[in-house]
Amino acid sequence: MDSTPQISGSDPQGVSVNIDDDGNPDAAVFVALGCNDKGVWADCREALEAALARFRSEGIDVVARSSWWRSQAWPDPNDPPFLNGVVRVRTALDPHGLMAALGRIEEAFGRERGRRNAPRTLDLDLIAYGRMSGDLEGLILPHPRAAARLFVMGPLAEIAPGWTHPVSGRDATTLAREAAVGRDARPVG
């Protein structure tokens, strides 16, 4: 079976969108979520759940989700610990449109961009968009550091163990087992 995403429709600029993944993990769109600053929420779990609830208003449907994983902050373990997860989504947005929507959600949740890897109320990363790879006008897919992070690959392997990295060809389960960053990450429900 061809693992190329089935594309239909187009946006106003004529870019084909609407990946129809039909359950094929290699044609799926994955977004990672993270929080280590609860902001106005009772805790990071509540903040992440509220962020997921907001996805629909941005034209993003969550079709599968991992459990939440806790890990020490990286690279500075003195920062508050992180809660992370991964969702598979369906959207009519192209990769740049999806990134813009994720940015709007982060902004609504008080995300401030300052010091790199500083504590954050919400961190949303586009991990993969079907089999797309390379530099798409400043957007690098798949996410260039995701494969090395257990707090991303562990949750992704929960919901799509057969997903293969578009560049390395390695599956999510193997990448999770070999991830060098965030080795303390564990599911917490």
In whole angstroms, give the CA distance from residue 24 to residue 166: 13
Q: How many other β-carbons are positioned within 10 Å of the β-carbon of residue 34?
A: 24
Confidence band, pLDDT 50/70/90 cuts, at residue 177: very high
Confidence band, pLDDT 50/70/90 cuts, at residue 96: very high
Query: Please, what is the angle between helix 95-108 and helix 44-55, to 10°?
Result: 140
pLDDT mean over 165-183: 96
pLDDT surpassing 90 at residue 180: yes
pLDDT surpassing 60 at residue 61: yes
Confidence band, pLDDT 50/70/90 cuts, at residue 3: very low
Contact between residue 18 and residue 101 where contact means Cβ atoms under 8 Å apart: no
Q: Which of 1-15, 25-39, 114-128 has the lowest mean pLDDT?
A: 1-15
CA-based radius of gyration for the chain: 16
Beta bridge partners, 155, equal none
Q: Which helix (H) or strand (E) holds 100?
A: helix 95-108
In whole angstroms, give the CA distance from residue 109 to residue 136: 27
Confidence band, pLDDT 50/70/90 cuts, at residue 118: low
DSSP 127-188: EEETT--EEETTEEES-TTGGGBHHHHHHHHHH-TT-B-TTT--BHHHHHHH--B-TT-EE-
In whole angstroms, give the CA distance from residue 134 to residue 129: 11
Beta bridge partners, 62, equal 89
Token couple for 62: 């969550």
Residue 23, pLDDT score: 66
